[in-house]
Structure 1
Amino acid sequence: MQTYQTYIWQKSDWPHFTYDATAFHDLIQEIRYQQGLLEGICNGLTTERLLEMQSETLALDAVTTSEIEGEVLSRDSVRSSIFKKLGISYESQDRSTIQTDGLIDILLDASKNTAKTFDENRLYSWHAALFPTGYSGMHKINVASYRGDDPMQVVSGHIGKEKVHYIAPPRNIVEEEMQRFFDFINIPTNDNGYIRAAIAHLWFVIIHPMDDGNGRIARALSDMMLSRAENSPIRLYSMSSAINDSKRSYYDILELTTTGTMDISAWIEWFLQTVLTAQQNAHLTIEKVVAKARFWQLHIHNDLNPRQKKVLNRLLDAGKEGFEGGINARKYASLCDCSRVTASRDLSDLLDKGCIKSRGAGGRSTSYDVEWESTK
Structure 2
Amino acid sequence: MKNKQQWIWLHQDYPKFHYNIHKLLPKVTQIAQNIGQVKALISLLDTDSQNTIKVDLYTNEIVSTSAIEGEKLSRESVRSSIRKKLDSPFDTVHDKSTDHTDALADILMDTLLNAAPLELERLHKWHIALLSHTPSNFNKVKLGEFRDYDDMQIVSGPIGKEKVHYVGLPHGRISEDIKSFIEYINNSKDDMYIKSAVAHLWFVTIHPYDDGNGRIARIISDYIVSQSFGLEYKYFSISTAIASDRKNYYEKLEMSQNLTDNPSLDCTSWIAWYLDRFNDSLQETLNSIDKVMSKTKFWDKVRHVTLNQRQIKVLSKLLEYNAGEFQGSLTTKKYVAITKTSLATAKRDMQELLKYGCLYQIEGTQGRNIKYDLLYE
Name the CA distance, whole Å, in 2 between partners of 1:98 and 1:299. 42
**Aligned match for 1:287, one of 285, 290, 297:** 290
Name the CA distance, whole Å, in 1 between partners of 2:314 and 2:103. 27
Name the CA distance, whole Å, in 2 between partners of 1:252 and 1:2. 20
Instruction: Look up the match of 1:105.
Output: 106
Contact 1:135 1:141 in 2 (8 A): no
Unaligned segments of structure 2, at least 5 residues: 366-370
Instruction: Look up the match of 1:226.
Output: 225
Report the Cα offset of residue 198 of structure 1. 1.0
* Partner amino acid, structure 1, of 2:5: Q
Q: Summarize the alignment of residues 107-146 of structure 1 with structure 2, pairs less than 5 Å apart.
A: 107-113=108-114, 115-133=115-133, 135-136=135-136, 139-146=139-146
Report the Cα offset of residue 199 of structure 1. 0.8
Instruction: Look up the match of 1:365.
Output: none
Instruction: Look up the match of 1:74.
Output: 74
Contact 2:150 2:168 in 1 (8 A): no
Instruction: Look up the match of 1:258.
Output: 257
Contact 1:146 1:209 in 2 (8 A): yes
Instruction: Look up the match of 1:23.
Output: 23
Report the Cα offset of residue 262 of structure 1. 1.3
Contact 1:134 1:140 in 2 (8 A): no
Contact 1:61 1:238 in 2 (8 A): yes
Instruction: Look up the match of 1:274.
Output: 277
Structure 1 residues 14 and 96, CA gap change in structure 2 (3 angstroms) = same
Contact 1:198 1:268 in 2 (8 A): yes
Structure 1 residues 96 and 285, CA gap change in structure 2 (3 angstroms) = same
Name the CA distance, whole Å, in 2 between partners of 1:214 and 1:256. 18
Name the CA distance, whole Å, in 2 between partners of 1:350 and 1:236. 38
Name the CA distance, whole Å, in 2 between partners of 1:150 and 1:281. 40
Instruction: Look up the match of 2:64.
Output: 64
Structure 1 residues 141 and 303, CA gap change in structure 2 (3 angstroms) = farther
CA deviation profile, 1:7-65 (whole Å, cap 9, x unmatched): 01111111111122223222222221111111111121122212222222111211211
CA deviation profile, 1:55-82 (whole Å, cap 9, x unmatched): 2211121121111111222221111111
Name the CA distance, whole Å, in 1 between partners of 2:96 and 2:313. 14
**More divergent stretch after superposition (188-197 vs 79-88):** 188-197
Query: Are 1:179 and 2:179 counterparts?
Result: yes
* Paired positions, count: 358
Q: Summarize the alignment of residues 179-198 of structure 1 with structure 2, pairs less than 5 Å apart.
A: 179-186=179-186, 188-198=187-197
Instruction: Look up the match of 1:50.
Output: 50
CA deviation profile, 1:217-271 (whole Å, cap 9, x unmatched): 1112111111223333322221111111111111111000000231111111111
Name the CA distance, whole Å, in 1 between partners of 2:312 and 2:140. 42
In our comparison, the structure showing a higher alpha carbon Rg is 2
Name the CA distance, whole Å, in 2 between partners of 1:173 and 1:112. 32
* Partner amino acid, structure 1, of 2:254: E
Name the CA distance, whole Å, in 1 between partners of 2:147 and 2:336. 48
Structure 1 residues 324 and 161, CA gap change in structure 2 (3 angstroms) = farther
Query: Are 1:94 and 2:95 counterparts?
Result: yes
Name the CA distance, whole Å, in 1 between partners of 2:252 and 2:78. 30
* Aligned sequence identity (%): 36
Query: Are 1:217 and 2:216 counterparts?
Result: yes
Structure 1 residues 145 and 315, CA gap change in structure 2 (3 angstroms) = farther
CA deviation profile, 1:311-360 (whole Å, cap 9, x unmatched): 9877755655667799989998xxxxxxxxx9669x97997996999xx9
* Partner amino acid, structure 2, of 1:279: L
Structure 1 residues 356 and 67, CA gap change in structure 2 (3 angstroms) = farther
Structure 1 residues 373 and 21, CA gap change in structure 2 (3 angstroms) = same
Report the Cα offset of residue 372 of structure 1. 4.5
Name the CA distance, whole Å, in 2 between partners of 1:125 and 1:323. 43
* Partner amino acid, structure 2, of 1:247: R
* Partner amino acid, structure 2, of 1:286: I
Unaligned segments of structure 1, at least 5 residues: 333-341, 361-367
Contact 1:20 1:265 in 2 (8 A): yes
Name the CA distance, whole Å, in 2 between partners of 1:313 and 1:122. 43
Name the CA distance, whole Å, in 2 between partners of 1:374 and 1:278. 26
Name the CA distance, whole Å, in 2 between partners of 1:276 and 1:257. 21
**More divergent stretch after superposition (176-185 vs 284-293):** 284-293
SS in structure 2 of the partner of residue 230 of structure 1 = coil
* Partner amino acid, structure 2, of 1:27: K
* Partner amino acid, structure 2, of 1:285: S
Report the Cα offset of residue 147 of structure 1. 2.6
* Partner amino acid, structure 2, of 1:209: P
TM-score (norm 1): 0.81
Query: Are 1:167 and 2:167 counterparts?
Result: yes
Structure 1 residues 311 and 372, CA gap change in structure 2 (3 angstroms) = closer
Instruction: Look up the match of 2:368.
Output: none
RMSD: 3.6
Structure 1 residues 131 and 235, CA gap change in structure 2 (3 angstroms) = same
Report the Cα offset of residue 135 of structure 1. 3.2
Contact 2:127 2:144 in 1 (8 A): yes
SS in structure 2 of the partner of residue 200 of structure 1 = helix
SS in structure 2 of the partner of residue 159 of structure 1 = coil
Report the Cα offset of residue 309 of structure 1. 9.1
SS in structure 2 of the partner of residue 166 of structure 1 = strand
TM-score (norm 2): 0.81
Contact 1:57 1:285 in 2 (8 A): no
CA deviation profile, 1:57-113 (whole Å, cap 9, x unmatched): 111211211111112222211111111110111457111111211112212211222
* Partner amino acid, structure 2, of 1:248: K
